[in-house]
Amino acid sequence: MNLPCVPLFLWLLMREEGILTLHLIDDNDNNCCSVNTGSRHGSIGNRKRERQGRTPVAWLPTEPAGREHPRHNISKRSIMNKAVLLFCLLQVLLSAADDHYCQSTLPVFTPTPGYRLEFVQTVTRHGARTPIYLVPPVEQPLVEWNCKLHELVKPSQQDHSVRYDTTKRLFRKVYRDGVETLKGNCNFGQLTDVGYSQHLELGQALRKVYADGFNLFGPQPKLSQIRVRSTDVYRTLQSAQAGLTGMFPEHTSIRGVETLLVETTDNSLEDMTPNSAVCPPLQTEMNRLHASKEWTDQQEKTRNLTETLQKAFGVSTLPPWDGLYDIYQLRRCANLPVPKEITEDLFQQIRLAAEWEVNVTAYDPAVGRYGMGTFLNLIKENIQNYVKNGTSEVKYLLYSGHDSTVAPLLGLLNIYDGLWPPFRAYVNFELYSRDGEHFVQVKYNGKEMKLPACEKVMCPVKTVLAFFQERVVTPQQCGRVQPAVYARRA
């Protein structure tokens, strides 16, 4: 269902209930709207403004339920009311889309009576960041990105097992003011303060679920119980650090400095995102997809949009759709201004074009298998090894990645919801035991997901492993034998 159809459907549905009230709320610089659906269904609208105590300055009630109006008797006022209501419902849904992208929901502890949690693998997207594209010259003067997040480091030739009790000097890298491509003191794609806080909160929430709720780590969590892997990108490394800081607070009783290894891989061998260098058949399948009628038809449909944007920006080339969407969605999340050339209508067209390409790519079986099959194979092997050994000191594996990790992984498992993975998105693969049998439960952003091969969300491990096996690919099947670049197995 296309987005513009959704508000109309909701309006028709709720109008039949006769309980709609439209609020036009003065918000100083712009007018916003909310929809009160009556006592039976609560309210839909801008809850943030409601919490701030702002009151509506005008309202337009709908007709009472049950009243019939012949077509020839519809007044201009009635038509106008409906048009305004339709517009407001659209704004509500678009605002919800913004809220979805800006950060994921946090997990909460849900007991699983009769089941004991034994092992968890978490795959995440990094937190909020600065853009990785620009379209000069229209946007650069408008926004200044200021990053307070920094790292203090010290190179060392000591063995990593040595505790650093005598550190007297640390080094900090800073970006020179006024000479960065991004206006401000941030680099492209840099994790922001908000992004760090998002993963700190996620780690704290996961601690409440796994350490406090399920007692996964026993009475005293130890660093030896976890393994961490990240793509070799600053924002994913820092997101992993934030998450682990929240999940495993520093032990003040330990003398010296704790050292936690975060494993990375050369970009040419990284399989946490689709990589044709790791699996060459991926490029063949991408070429096939891009040459398909479905893809070329979509490019034709967006030709006018491309020309409109090129003319508005005064440029001959544009970033890809996901890059354009990234630029302006990030600004909306950060409450920063968007160029006047990017109207709400143009922004939504960009979003739909970007999501179309991501969805089609994520749900293509061959692209998914060659793009994420080796990484899924790792997740599968970790589960197999734990079940085979019966136990392991390692209880938790964290993989810190990108939206290009989460979306294709979910697509490969046929559980992708079609919405762009938000900042701080996370997928949990939980291994449980009951009466000598093992079960797997998959959760996305805290929501239980039922795999297509399973009758319930809590699925027998044999069924899950067989389902995974149909979708994995080994380095040998990719046509390239590569060194062991995976995180340590449990």
Question: Mean pLDDT of residues grouped by 10 in the chain (490 residues)?
Answer: 38 37 37 38 36 34 38 50 51 57 96 96 97 72 74 63 62 73 83 96 98 93 92 96 90 60 93 95 97 97 94 88 93 89 93 96 96 97 94 93 98 96 98 97 98 97 98 86 44
Strand partners, 433: 116, 438
Strand partners, 397: 121, 227
pLDDT of 390-401, one tens digit each?
A: 878 999 999 999
Q: What is the DSSP letter of 388?
A: H
Looking at residue 464, what is its pLDDT? 99
Residue among 367, 445, 344 at smallest CA distance from 403: 445
Q: Give the Cα separation of 440 and 410 in Å (integer).
A: 16
Looking at residue 145, what is its pLDDT? 81
Looking at residue 251, what is its pLDDT? 59
Q: What is the DSSP letter of 256?
A: S
Long-range interactions of 459-466: CB distance < 8 A, separation 24+: 461/383, 461/387, 461/431, 461/437, 464/383, 464/440, 465/380, 465/383, 465/384
User: What backbone phi and psi angles, to 5 degrees, belong to 184?
Assistant: 120, -150
CB within 8 Å of 467: residues ≥ 6 apart: 451, 452, 453, 454
Q: Give the Cα separation of 436 and 454 in Å (integer).
A: 19
Neighbours of 326 (CB within 10 A): 22
Residue 397 CB burial class (10 angstroms; 0-12, 13-18, ≥19)? buried
Between the two ends of the chain, the Cα-to-Cα distance in Å is 43
Instruction: Report whether 394 contacts 221 (CB < 8 A).
Output: no
* Three-state DSSP class for residue 61: strand
Q: Give the Cα separation of 420 and 400 in Å (integer).
A: 17
Q: Give the Cα separation of 403 and 424 in Å (integer).
A: 9
Question: Which two structure tokens, joined as six digits, stand for 33?
Answer: 């709207």
Looking at residue 238, what is its pLDDT? 95
Whether pTM exceeds 0.85: no
Using only C-alpha atoms, the chain has a radius of gyration, in whole angstroms, of 25
